Structure 1
Amino acid sequence: MVLLFHHTWLLTSSSLEMDETSMYLLLEKKGEDCVYTKDGSLDYHNNPANKLKTGRWKACIFIVATASLERLAYFGMSSNLLLYFKLELNQHSATASRNLSNWTGACYIAPLLGAFVADGYIGKFWTIACSSVLYAIGMTLLTASALAPRLFKTDVTEATDSQTVACFTALYLVAMASGGVKACISAYGADQFDDNDKAEKKLKSSFFNWYYQMMNIGSLIAHSLIVWVQDNVGWDWGFGIPTLAMVMGVVSFFSGTWFYRNHKPGGSPLTSLFQVVVASLRKKRINMQTDASLLYEIADANSSTTGSRQLNHTRNLSFFDKAAVETASDREKGSINPWRLCTVTQVEELKAVIRLLPIWFTGIIFSSVRGQVDNLFVLQGSFMDTQIDNSSFIIPPASLGTIGTLSVIFWVPVYDQIIVPLARKLTGHPNGLTQLQRMGIGHSILVFSMLAAGILEVIRLDFVERHNYYDIKPVPISIFWQVPQFFIVGCAEVFTLVGQMEFFYEQVPDSMRSFGSALRLTTIALGSYMSSLLVTIVTEVTTEDGGPGWIPDNLNYGKLQNFFWLLAVLSVLNLGIFVVVAKWHASKRSVEMIM
């Protein structure tokens, strides 16, 4: 399976490999001064990283294979987990749904802890290494809990307390471990490209595209093959195969150890941000310097925070500039108190994080709307004809979600190999589109997906009314009419979600890149909670008069199209907010970039 991912990656990125070979030849001609990275990255032996021997695609093959196998393991385990809770642990539907939601939320909140540990203390490599091993242990325990009833019980219809405890112990061990992997894996892959090398920085943008592509291949295998095994073979094999995939992911990650570029952690970057807040509040009454060159900064080009580059001063959020205004009392004891006087770079790092928050907020709304793919799209499909040409083969409504995954797999090479070169000619931007432009296009595309879903529901309900099929399930309209809305969602993901990955990596301080990835992931968790809240509110409001409401148990009596119209309007409003905050946003600029 590892070889499958490696070969797929090599085939899809062959043109990128050719670019890398050309750069190698160029480096050899330029001589030793250009052989080593300029971003402070180190090899496994803590020596300056050699561009000819470390990083780039040769390192990313192992990282992306690990990420793909982790996604296969995660979705192979989680996609059918609700059914496992109901059938094997004998939980009520509401209890099973609540337990699954709580666990999923934990999986997407845990990256904040993983990022804190990685950025502040042990670095991305050891965070991924330790977390992936713990991940594999947790999945092994989950498989053992599913296998145990077959080995030790004759009556497997009732779950024991020990089986339930073992299952949830394993699941929350996986949740904690996945936080370390999710927070670091994409950022660590991007670390393999030197920001101070224009050629490598250009390749980094392609990395995010192919990284997301390979993750979706892992997800596709999980949602098709693994789910089929769980339904038709058994849960021991259904969990055992994802566990094997995760073990292979661990092997893949360690196999690339000698090719990786690593950055030293610089202690808790959050401490530096709090210092700016405290120092600026202490000096809230002083007059601001009109000349930014008079603000305090260390002399060399490095930041006071290990692992960060020095940043140029920006004029917005100027209140925090007071933290860098030097007063007579700042050096009273001979040394500078960092809680009273901060560097311009520290101030700019805080500004960079604050400027991310409006963009982050729009990501929550995007995720809440996109979350209907796994919710109301599936519910809509369950009231449509799932048979193929009157045969006995039935398509599970949830399986149509693979169309969205296939859409992503289709759109990634189209974007990277066709759209980017064309956009580059039109805009002159090295990446074709800026990160914000790319995300904005994705926001607008998502609107059309909700419109397509709403139009289909209007057509379906019109058919129900004309033929009096209110109590008929499924309605004889093919589920394949849902393909366009799933396909459009996949396109929106390639623009917005991949753009988010690159944006949050680039715009956070250098020492907080794992935190940037974790912050992006929280939009998924919060978007899921917001989606559930929205459904609850709509249900309460539309059933106040005793009617069936928009989303009744029998959709033939409902008005699901109105909910899709609401989501479309919400997406348009979110797009408007995004455009405003994108215009306000000022990108982080390092001194090296200015020079």
Structure 2
Amino acid sequence: MDNNETRPISKGDQAMLNTDFSIDWRGRPCKPNKHGGMRAAVFVLGIQAFEIMAIGAVGNNLITYVFNEMHFPLSKSANIVTNFIGTIFLLSLLGGFLSDSYLGSFWTMLIFGFIELSGFILLAVQAHLPQLRPSQCNMITDDNCIEAKGFKATIFFIALYLVALGSGCLKPNMIAHGADQFSKDDAKQANKLSTYFNSAYFSFCVGELIALTVLVWFQTHVGMDVGFAISAIVMGMGLISLTSGLFFYRNKPPQGSILTPILQVFVAAISKRKQVCPSNAETMCRNQNHAVSVDGSLNIDFRHSDKFRFLDKASLRVEQQNGNNNEKESPWKLCSVKQVEQVKVILSVIPIFACTIVFNTVLAQLQTFSVQQGSSMNTHLTKSFTIPPASLQAIPYLILIILVPIYELFGIPLARRITKNKHGITPLQRIGVGLFTVTFSMVAAALIENKRKNMFLSSNKIISIFWITPQFLIFGISEMFTAVGLIEFFYMQSLQGRMQSFLTGMTYCSYSFGFFLSSLLVSLVNKLTSSNSRNGGWLSDNDLNKDRLDLFYWLLAVLSLVNFFNYLFWSRWYSKSPSNSSTNDVVVPVV
């Protein structure tokens, strides 16, 4: 092949170029007037609302069941819950990988939706049958209370992690599959994409709100077995919603392993580590016979970053010893420049992603210790009506339902006038505001816990549960910035048509690592503080009136503040990304 010619476009290249190519449930090309659009997306919004309703009711009140019914110690119960929720979000990477590479988003959701449903059913059966649970006793007053072991514990953990596997693999695909219903080639549908994202976030908040109020109320006042059974019914309704849209969906066909192109870049770069990189992207593209426009300029559809320059060696064409430079090289020896830049994007966002882990460690406390904190307070709203402590977690979502529309209608236009930026404030700035604000959530939690404990010990007075409202309220405000900003940030970095579900899964991984870090911190704090105290560790008792939860909250407040300054460094580093070329023209990647 002559050096001035571009090579023929292969089927793999066609798939990468035509990123909006979709098929129906039979594998045939979609018809614009029959498939996709909001009509199809509504069914996806249905399963999203029902699934978050089902899992939210279980996860947010799970510590009550683990502590009161399964009789695990308080610190161990908190770790069981955080490990469970952390596993859910970690498995979102598996769900995104299977969807993008092999199964497609619809079949991934359907398969793992039924796995999650089976977990809910098994939880309900165990909670209903006394022979599958330990004997009833009070963990605080009864020293002879025995935790679940053997067969009973095995059944519990099997059920719990069936739920985790199903929910984790569902999460990244629900948003991605809904977004796939809107054709990027159709201007009208493309404009409705933002409406879909707003609707998806609204359905998420509504699902959480119902879970933390109605479903948690049933768990508390009727029984955990009934609560788990309702979660199973709700999950079944979600699967019905998903399958009802089968004939209307636009499905993105899987494109094989998404990890292989990433590995190829590293292998090719290492094999040519002694080569010298060209100074700009244009030189590398000419070496790869990229398409040339009529005016002689190159058609390049990426930004060349000076970060991780050693990876640029993967796109260098090395002269063959036999003199035949036109011979096609192995993709493990020569990668496209665009392929290299995509790997750079993934590496560049990792520090930003890592800085949100501490934020989600704070979230873990609101779902564990703050629930137990509320259980030690006066939960009576009236003489006959009590508030389930877990329902206080509905406050952030209630705040989000109110604040997000206000922010969209008034906050963003005002920020646009001030910053002259079309986003109002950039996703990185939005994340930073949230990371700074969350510090005050833990400050409020520490102050209130200190007040609650002193009031009880000094005068045996139990303060109202509404005293812990500020920590949930502040967290709701910080989540509006951090969580939404992170999703927006990863969406802007997504690789077209290739790793959409996988990158969505990466946003959930921050939650996973945050909950795992919470478990590690609890164990580490208990170990360090118990070795220097005769009274045991800060969190070693099953009674918060003997523990030092307030000190643990202060520790998290300090970590959050340090993490914020760490984020300032990495966001500044990420923003310094020189670009040698940037156009919107299409180029055939040489892979």
Residue of structure 1 aligned with 2:554, choices 565, 570, 589: 565
2:448 to 446, 450, 456: 456
How far the C-alpha of 1:458 sits from its partner, in A, is 5.2
| Whole-Å separation in 2 of the counterparts to 1:87 and 1:379 | 11
Q: When the two structures are superposed, what TM-score results if normalisation uses the length of structure 2?
A: 0.80
Cα distance change of structure 1 residues 440 and 258 upon mapping to structure 2, 3 Å threshold: farther
Q: Supply the distance in 1 between the matched residues of 2:501 and 2:447 (Cα, whole angstroms).
A: 41
Cα offsets for 1:325-354 (capped at 9, x unmatched): 111139679322111110011101110110
- Say which is worse superposed, 222-231 or 451-460, in terms of deviation: 451-460
CA distance in 1, matches of 2:405, 2:318: 55
Q: Once the 2 structures are TM-superposed, how far is the Cα of residue 480 of structure 1 from its aligned partner?
A: 1.2
**Structure 2 match to 1:40:** 20
Partner in structure 1 of residue 103 of structure 2: 122
Q: Which has the higher helix share?
A: 1
Counterpart residue identity of residue 474, structure 2? I
The equivalences for 1:119-198 within 5 A come to: 119-146=100-127, 167-194=156-183
Q: Deviations over 1:483-529 (max 9, x none)?
A: 22211111111211122222223313231121112222222121112
The 1:427–1:180 alpha-carbon spacing in structure 2 relative to 1, beyond 3 Å, is same
Question: Superposed, which structure 2 residues align to 1:133-532 within 5 Å?
Answer: 133-146=114-127, 167-194=156-183, 204-205=193-194, 207-296=196-285, 297=288, 299=290, 311-329=302-320, 334-388=327-381, 391-457=383-449, 459-460=451-452, 464=455, 469-470=456-457, 475-510=461-496, 511-532=498-519
- Post-superposition CA distance 1:90-111 (Å, at most 9, x none): 7676776665454433322222
Which is worse superposed, 254-263 or 92-101? 92-101
Q: Which letter maps to 2:457?
A: Y
Give the superposition deviation at 1:472: 5.6
Q: Distance in 1 between matches of 2:430 and 2:58?
A: 32
Q: Percent identity?
A: 35
SS state at 1:110 partner: helix
CA 394–298 in structure 1, closer or farther in 2 if over 3 Å, else same: farther
- Conservation of the 8 A alpha-carbon contact between 1:39 and 1:194: no
Moved more, 556-565 or 213-222: 556-565
In the alignment, what sits opposite 1:9?
none
CA shift for structure 1 position 551: 5.2
Structure 1 spans left out of the alignment, 5+ residues: 1-36, 302-308
Return closer, same or farther for 1:208/1:371 CA change in 2, 3 Å cut-off: farther
Q: Deviations over 1:44-63 (max 9, x none)?
A: 16566566654443333221
Which string of whole-angstrom CA distances, capped at 9 and with x for unpartnered residues, describes residues 503-558 of structure 1? 22331323112111222222212111212322333344445143576557465566
**5+ residue gaps, structure 2:** 1-16, 138-145, 293-299
Relative to structure 1, the CA distance from residue 227 to residue 479 in structure 2 (aligned partners, 3 Å threshold; closer, same or farther) is closer
> What is the total number of aligned residue pairs between the two structures?
543
Q: 3-state DSSP class of the match of 1:592?
A: coil
Q: TM-score, normalised by structure 1?
A: 0.80
Cα distance in 1 for residues equivalent to 2:79 and 2:571 = 36
Matches of 1:483 and 1:99, distance apart in 2 = 25
Distance 1:542 1:382, change over 3 A: same
Question: C-alpha separation between the residues in 2 aligned to 1:328 and 1:238?
Answer: 68
Specify which of 39, 45, 58 is matched with residue 39 of structure 2.
58
* TM-superposed deviation, 1:198: 7.5
CA contact (8 A) 1:280 1:322 kept: yes
Letter in 2 for 1:413: P
1:108–1:521 Cα contact (<8 Å) kept:
yes
CA offsets 1:105-142 (integer angstroms, 9 cap, x no match): 33222222212211111222221222223333443444
Q: 2 CA distance for matches of 1:581 and 1:594?
A: 31
Amino acid corresponding to residue 470 of structure 1 in structure 2: L
Aligned counterparts of 1:260 and 1:81: Cα–Cα separation in 2:
35
Distance 2:419 2:82 in 1: 43
**Could you say if the C-alpha distance between residues 483 and 124 of structure 1 is closer, same or farther in structure 2, counting changes exceeding 3 Å?**
same
| Structure with the larger RCO, 1 or 2 (CA within 8 Å, 6+ apart) | 2
RMSD: 3.7
Q: What's the counterpart of residue 569 of structure 2?
A: 580
State the distance in 2 between where 1:352 and 1:531 align: 28
Q: What is the distance in 2 between the residues matched to 1:502 and 1:569? A: 27
